[in-house]
Amino acid sequence: MSIFREYDIRGIFQRDLDRGNVFAIGYYLAEAIKEVGQNQVYIGYDARVHSKELLKWLSDGLIYNGIEVFSLGMVPTPVAYFCVFNQIEKLKITSSIMITGSHNPPEYNGFKITIDQKPFYGHMIQGLKQKIKNFIPIYKEADRDLQDIDGLSVYVDYLSKHFVRLRDFQHIVALDYGNGVGGIAMQKILKSLNVKHQALYENPDGNFPNHHPDPSEEKNLQDLKKVMQEKDISIALAFDGDADRIALLTKNHSFKGDELGILFGREIAKQKPNPLVIGEVKCSQIMYDTINTFGRSLMYKTGHSNLKVKLKELDADLAVEMSGHIFFNDRYFGYDDAIYAGLRILELFLSYSVDEIEEMISILPKIFATPEEKISVTEEQKFILIEKLKQKLKNPPIDFPKILDIVDIDGVRVIFEKGWGLVRASNTTPVLVTRFEALDEESALLYKKKLIDLLEIDGLK
C-alpha cells in the first residue's frame, strides 16, 4: 500500500507493482475517468525495462472496466500531459496515464495520472488505495488491442513552431538526457530549428548505464561538465528520466530551480506587469524577496501535482521547484515540461550573453545554504516525526535559536533571525528532507544542529 503516494503511484516492479494490483489500479482508474464523463484515455511509458509489461496489465484493467485505451508509446511525460490539452487526430481525450519511475533507480516504476486535464493526486489517490485494499478484481486479459496514437509528432511540431525564434541559435548547446526519454523529442526539435548541439546519452536505456537520471544531484552532472570544458561549450541542459525536470549549467554556474524562477519571472514581467510566481518550501528566501521587487511571490507545498493545481487556482504565471520542475502558465498549459523549459532557457540567451545571465544571479545577496539532505526513516515514521517536531517547537529548549515564524504548509520551515531551516517528509520516498539557509555558514549550521537534535532520531545527534 506504500505505492500510493501524494502526487503519484510509485514502487518497485514485481515487489510492489505486480500484475494483480496494476490491473486493479487500471480497473478503478476507469471509474474515475467515467465519473468525469469520459471513456477514453492516453497511456505513455518511459524507457524502463518493465514499462511495457505495466502497460499491458494497466490497460487490461482499464479496458475490462469500459475504457478505450490509446497508446502513445515511449514518450517523455510532458507529451502525455500535452495530449490532454490538444486534440490529437481530432480526439477529445482529456485524461492520460504516464508509466514512469521518473528519477528513481531502475527497479522502480509507477504512474503519473491526469484526469479531465487535472492531476489525480492526494485524497484521490488515497481513495483509489482504499478501493483496492477492500477489493482486488480478478485479472482478465483484454479482448482487444490498444490503439496506437502519434502524440509525439504533434508535440514536436507544436514546440518547433512555438520556438521558431531559436532557429540557427548562435550558441552550441550541450545536453545530457541520462538515457531517459527526453532525447526522443528534444533531438527532433533541435534538428528542426538547426540548433547546433552536443548530446550525451540520448538513447533511452532503462538500466541507466552511465549515471542516475537525476540532474538535481551534482554527481550526475560531471560528464556534462567535462564535455563543456573539452568542447568549450558555455550552455548546457540536463534532464531527468522522464523529462519533466531540467537543470541549466553555464561556464561558471549550475542554476537551481529557484534561480531559474528569478530569471523567468523577470522575463515574464517585461510582458505582464506584476506577475505572480509560486515557489515551494525548499526555495531560497532570496527568490521570494527578489520576485517581490518586480512582481508577487507565494510559498506553497512541494510536489508537481500541488503546484499545478495552485497555479491554475490562482491563475499564476509561473511555478518552480528547487529540483527543476518548472511550470509555465504565460505561454503554455501550466504543467511541468523540461523540454519546453529548456527551450525557454535558450530564449533567454537571445536577449542576454552567458556572462549577463550569470551576473543576474551573482549580484543577488550572498547567503550560505546547505544542499538538500535526506534522512532515512520508515514510511510509518516520517509523518509522525514531523508532527512531534511541530509540538516540540511550541516549547523549544532554552538554548534554541529565537524563532520569528513557523511555516507549516509542508513540513516545518522555521524562520530564525538570520535565516531558516526546513524539515519535511518526502511524499515519494521514506526520508525526511532538510535544507538550511542563513546569512553566514555558522548560523546555518547552528540551525541545522538544533532542528535535527529536536528530531531525536538515533544516530543523528
Residues in CB range of 88: below 8 A, 6 or more apart: 42, 149, 150, 151, 154
Query: How distant, in Å, are the alpha carbons of 211, 385, 414, 451 from that of 397?
Result: 44, 17, 15, 11
For the chain, helix (H) and strand (E) counts, in that order, are: 14, 22
Pull the grid cell for residue 326.
Answer: 518548472
Task: Give catalytic status of residue 19 as yes or no.
Answer: no
Q: Give me the catalytic one of 5, 10, 50, 197.
A: 10
Task: Give catalytic status of residue 50 as yes or no.
Answer: no
- 43, containing H or E segment: strand 40-45
Exposed e or buried b for every residue in 436-450, given b needs 16+ CB within 10 A? bbbeeeebbebbbeb
Write down how long the chain is: 461
Query: How distant, in Å, are the alpha carbons of 324, 421, 431, 455 from that of 458?
Result: 32, 20, 14, 9
Instruction: Provide the Cα torsion 133, 137, 143, 148; round to 10°.
Output: -10
Task: Give catalytic status of residue 10 as yes or no.
Answer: yes
Q: Give me the catalytic one of 325, 344, 424, 435.
A: 325
Q: Are 7 and 121 in contact (CB under 8 A)?
A: yes
Q: Give me the catalytic one of 102, 234, 323, 426.
A: 102
Report the Cα 290 to chain-centroid distance in Å. 23
Eight-class DSSP state of 220: G
Task: Enumerate the active-site residues.
Answer: 10, 102, 325
